[in-house]
Structure 1
Amino acid sequence: MRFTGTDRYVATEDLAVAVNAAVTLERPLLVKGEPGTGKTELARQVAESLGLPMIEWHVKSTTRAQQGLYEYDAVSRLRDSQLGDERVHDVRNYIRKGKLWQAFEAEGRVVLLIDEVDKADIEFPNDLLQELDRMEFHVYETGETIRARQRPIVIITSNNEKELPDAFLRRCFFHYIRFPDPETLRRIIEVHHPGIKEALLTQALTRFYEIRETPGLKKKPSTSEVLDWLKLLLAEDLAPEDLRADPRTALPRLHGALLKNEQDVHLFERLAFMARSGR
């Protein structure tokens, strides 16, 4: 079982090496990188490439590690006991299986995505150390131990919003997805927009990298945003010369696909004003 990318996902050589190393070591793959560089999609494409089912656990700021194992619904059990429901005699009726439980009890191997782990509380990764290491956990309400039938391929993503604990990092194989160079980005675009005209692509990429490299930019546009921008350019049937920046604002056409906050829009407007004033 080796990952080399798919028809719909361009995997660089170092990324493919990282995925295969994590699979061989049977350790979680921790993937970091700018938002929009394909971290979440990587897990889906690994599952597709290896022909495995996928289970996704999307972490939020309120997510607790226990929710990935199971949750005991004591409130529903109390309500049912007051109503005389026979279900109350079996506590299993009030156990809700989490994503890790689902992955552990799967008949075959699965890919488990723990997405945006850095959104949760700082203790969240530490609270999963034992379960991810031993591939088992205890259900106190029933007294049973849930063990993985087959060790899942665990892919954990992070947007680098906060530092992760050293003990957690020690148990992972780490890979940082760098922003693609122009040649790799061309390959990615060709996958999503096959047959795009060379002149339009060249002009669009030149403009895109100019925007990314503008000093003072608060949020650099990502891979997913350039794909959205190109989709709009193609829908509007724009020519390469249409992509030149508006001299009054220095903003590209349809800039709302690339610039996502008013500070960055104002930055380009100030640059245009300064350029005019310096003439």
Structure 2
Amino acid sequence: MAFQGTERYVASPALMLAVNAAVTLQRPLLVKGEPGTGKTLLAEELARSLDTALIAWHVKSTTKAQQGLYEYDAVSRLRDSQLGVEGVDDVRNYLRPGKLWEAFQAERRVVLLIDEIDKADLEFPNDLLLELDRMEFHVYETGETVRARHRPVVIITSNNEKELPDAFLRRCFFHYIDFPDREGLQRIVDVHFPGLQDQLVDEALTLFFQLREVPGLKKKPTTSELLDWLALLLADQVPISALRENEAGRPLPPLAGALVKNEQDLDLLRRLVFMQRRQGRKA
């Protein structure tokens, strides 16, 4: 296997190298980067390029590692035993396979995405060390061991909300997705909006990078937000002239709500516009 991106996913040479290295080493690929830089989409497109299934485990703050293996529904079993339901004697009827079990039992190699692992508690990554290392786990209720038929390609994403344990990091191949430069973003835009007018893209990218460079911005707009913004500009048929007006003393970019996602940043930008206009009048 040699991952080279897809027609819908522009991967940098460093990212392609990281994916292929992780597969060669049979290690999970831990991917970090700003939200919206395509970490989750990487797993989706990798599965697509391999023509295989994607099994996605989206981690929440309440998620426990055991849920990825299986869950035993003791409450339902107790209720069924009181009601005399048939099959209550077979504990397997009350085991709910998790995403790892599903990936391990797949008929062919799949891509397993553990998305936003840093949302869970600090023990969550360590609780998966053995299972991801050996590609097996024990089911205590039945005494059986579930082993991977085919070792899945494991992609783990993190937004750096929490530090991950060293023991876990040692078992992963790591890659940080840098924010694309202008040329890289141009390629991404071309993939999602083929044939888009060059002048519109040029003006939009200029505004986008100017916004990202505003000092004190709490949340910089990301790639996914740029694509949303361009889609809105096209849907509303915003003229290029409306983007060109956004120079010194300008109003906020049209449809700025696609790029600016909190009131603190919106207030900061408005104050900067006010100061620019006042300085312009004094001049």
Fold in common (TM above 0.5): yes
C-alpha separation in 1, matches of 2:218 and 2:269? 12
Q: Do the aligned residues in 2 keep the contact of 1:246 with 1:252 (CA within 8 Å)?
A: no
- Runs of 4+ that moved beyond 6 A: 246-249
Structure 2 partner of 1:169: 169
C-alpha separation in 2, matches of 1:5 and 1:246? 36
Cα distance, 1:119 vs structure 2:
0.6
Q: Do the aligned residues in 2 keep the contact of 1:250 with 1:271 (CA within 8 Å)?
A: no
Cα distance, 1:95 vs structure 2:
0.2
Amino acid at match of 1:255: A
CA distances 1:58-90 after superposition (whole Å, capped 9, x unpaired): 000100000000000000000001011122110
Correspondence 1:270 to 2:258: no
Structure 2 partner of 1:245: 246
Structure 1 partner of 2:11: 11
Secondary structure of the equivalent of 1:23? helix
C-alpha separation in 1, matches of 2:111 and 2:101? 13
Correspondence 1:113 to 2:91: no
Q: Do the aligned residues in 1 keep the contact of 2:131 with 2:137 (CA within 8 Å)?
A: yes
Structure 2 partner of 1:90: 90
State how many pairs are aligned: 279
Which range moved further: 225-234 or 239-248?
A: 239-248
CA distances 1:19-71 after superposition (whole Å, capped 9, x unpaired): 00000000000000111111000001001111121101000010000000000
C-alpha separation in 1, matches of 2:114 and 2:276? 47
* Structure 1, unpaired ranges of 5+: none
C-alpha separation in 2, matches of 1:276 and 1:234? 29
C-alpha separation in 1, matches of 2:112 and 2:235? 36
Secondary structure of the equivalent of 2:218? coil
Structure 2 partner of 1:207: 207
Structure-2 change in CA distance of 1:10 and 1:47 (3 Å): same
C-alpha separation in 2, matches of 1:234 and 1:276? 29
Secondary structure of the equivalent of 1:106? coil
Q: Within 5 A, what are the aligned runs for 1:1-279?
A: 1-243=1-243, 244-245=245-246, 250-278=251-279, 279=282
Percent of residue pairs identical: 71
Cα distance, 1:249 vs structure 2:
6.5
C-alpha separation in 1, matches of 2:254 and 2:231? 13
Amino acid at match of 1:273: F
Which range moved further: 262-271 or 236-245?
A: 236-245
Q: C-alpha root-mean-square deviation of aligned residues, in Å?
A: 1.1
C-alpha separation in 2, matches of 1:252 and 1:177? 27
Secondary structure of the equivalent of 1:89? coil
Secondary structure of the equivalent of 2:52? coil
Amino acid at match of 1:40: T
C-alpha separation in 2, matches of 1:249 and 1:75? 62
C-alpha separation in 2, matches of 1:226 and 1:146? 44
